[in-house]
Amino acid sequence: MTAAEERLVTAGASWAALYTGAAREACRHTLLELARTDPRIFCVDSDMGGFEDGFAAELPSQYVNVGIAEANLFGVSAGLAAAGLVPFAHTMSAFATTRACEQLKLDVAGSALPVRVVATHGGLSAGHYGPSHHAVQDLAILRTMPLLTVLVPADAGEAALAMRAAAYHPGPVYVRLGRKATPRIYREPYDFTIGASVRLADGDDVTVVATGPLPVHYALAARDVLAAGGFSVRVVNMHTIKPLDRSALVSAARDTAGIVTVEDHLVVGGLGGAVSEVVTSEQPCRVRRVGIEDRYLDSVGDERELLEESGVTVDRIVREARVLLGAAPAGSRT
């Protein structure tokens, strides 16, 4: 917790109350806090909006706006990092991983430079803009880039913790955020550690592993439904997609009937695929994947609506968990 945050808490505002908005806003405030005490930290903007009145107004010598030019964003950021600075490059996840994929691969990840990519509008959180802004294959792309650390915070508070952890982590880091405010998962700060998942609920019957704000929220809601039916459900927030917390997955595979993965991403190449890769080689178990099916999603709507259309729902998680528990046949909707 920063000194500013501690003063607010002392004045009567809880830590949770500080982080009730969107994760991207929490990250912007955290970046400004970090940059105030470290002149090496730069905000590199791609005309995202909102930085001009905040970061740029207070620290103009640490702010660069390259415009809507994502390839240039990564090239400039890589140059700053090579010069010993700590750049945070800001854009949308769909553009960072597809439009500027080559520069991310070569200039940032391939050069192992400490660029921190802060990518908003991940998953279907920008669904109201249509398919051009859907970022549902970004994790699959990012997972293939050597030396790139990939973080997916579950709420605004965890996003602030992730930004602090990313600031001085060796090598390049990618922080995937949504767009709007999402339900709070954490009520107090904790020791956020890159690569170490968080067990949000204990259970011995089945494990639900989720990543991202709404998937984690849905996982906890599904746990409550299953608990009402007498099942004990372990819920794991996998906030780091790379490196994955292998020990947590091995424990879940060994101690429970299987794993249900939940993500705001295609079922191809995302969290479900990553979890399957680990357990098949280290502790084989059944894995049921809840994500966006392998098809082109051409709908327009908000994130919750599009997730429901894609089959990422509390009911679906419950159904897949019951399959693993032998309480319902595969394909059943009971």
- With both helix axes pointing from N to C terminus, report the angle between 246-255 and 271-282 in degrees, rounded to the nearest 10: 70
| Mean pLDDT to the nearest integer, 144-152 | 96
Domain count, the chain: 2
The CATH number of the domain holding residue 212 is 3.40.50.920
How high is the pLDDT of residue 53?
Answer: 84
> 98-114, pLDDT tens digit by residue?
999 999 999 999 999 99
Q: Does a structural domain hold residue 183?
A: no
Contact by Cβ (8 Å): 10, 20: no
Q: What is the predicted pLDDT for the residue at 9?
A: 42
pLDDT at 208 over 90: yes
pLDDT of 142 reads: 96
- Whether 159 and 13 share a structural domain: yes
Q: Sheet containing 259-266: which strands, arranged edge to edge? A: 198-201, 233-237, 206-210, 259-266, 287-292
The per-residue pLDDT for 213 is: 95
**Do 131 and 260 fall within a single domain?**
no
- Could you tell me if 146 and 229 lie in one domain? no
Residues 303 and 216 in one domain: yes
Residues 159 and 12 in one domain: yes
Average pLDDT (313-333) is 81
pLDDT at res. 154: 95
Active-site residue, from 5, 25, 33, 70: 70
What is the reported pLDDT for 31?
94
User: Taking residues 251-267, what's their average pLDDT?
Assistant: 97
| Cβ 173 vs Cβ 12: under 8 Å | no
- Compute the mean pLDDT over every residue in the chain, rounded to the nearest whole number: 91
Look at 70-79, 178-187, 197-206 and tell me which has the smallest mean pLDDT.
178-187
Mean pLDDT confidence for 188-207: 95
Helices (H), the chain: 3-10, 15-18, 23-37, 57-58, 70-82, 93-94, 101-103, 138-143, 156-167, 213-228, 246-255, 271-282, 303-310, 314-324
Tally of residues, the chain: 334
Range of the domain at 218: 198-324
More confident residue, 121 or 1: 121
Average pLDDT over residues 205-211: 98
Told to judge if 70 belongs to the known catalytic residues of this protein, a careful annotator would answer yes
CATH number at residue 16: 3.40.50.970
Q: Return the pLDDT at 282.
A: 95
User: Is the pLDDT at 125 greater than 90, yes or no?
Assistant: no
Structure confidence at residue 328 (pLDDT)? 59
Q: Does 149 share its domain with 212?
A: no
For the segment 270-296, what is each residue's pLDDT rounded down to a tens digit?
A: 999 999 999 999 999 999 999 998 888
Position 333 scores a pLDDT of: 38
pLDDT digits (tens, 9 = 90+) for 8-28: 444 445 767 778 788 889 999
In 3D space, the residue among 311, 270, 299, 309 whose CA is nearest the CA of residue 127 turns out to be 299
Claim to verify: residue 96 and residue 204 sit in the same structural domain: no
Span 51-95, pLDDT tens digits:
888 899 999 999 999 999 999 999 999 999 999 999 999 999 999
Q: Answer whether residue 193 is part of any domain.
A: no
> Are both 55 and 152 inside the same structural domain?
yes
Phi-psi region for residue 170, left (φ > 0), alpha (ψ -120 to 50) or beta? beta
> Would you say residue 259 has pLDDT above 60?
yes
Residue where a domain stops, chosen among 143, 176, 209: 176
The dihedral built from the CA positions of residue 32, 78, 243 and 153, taken in this order, carries a sign that is positive
153 and 81 part of one domain: yes
Banded pLDDT at 174 (limits 50, 70, 90): very high
Mark whether 167 and 287 lie in a shared domain: no
- Rounded percentage of the chain residues whose pLDDT exceeds 70: 93
**What Cα–Cα distance (Å) separates residue 91 from each residue in 25, 188, 293?**
14, 28, 26
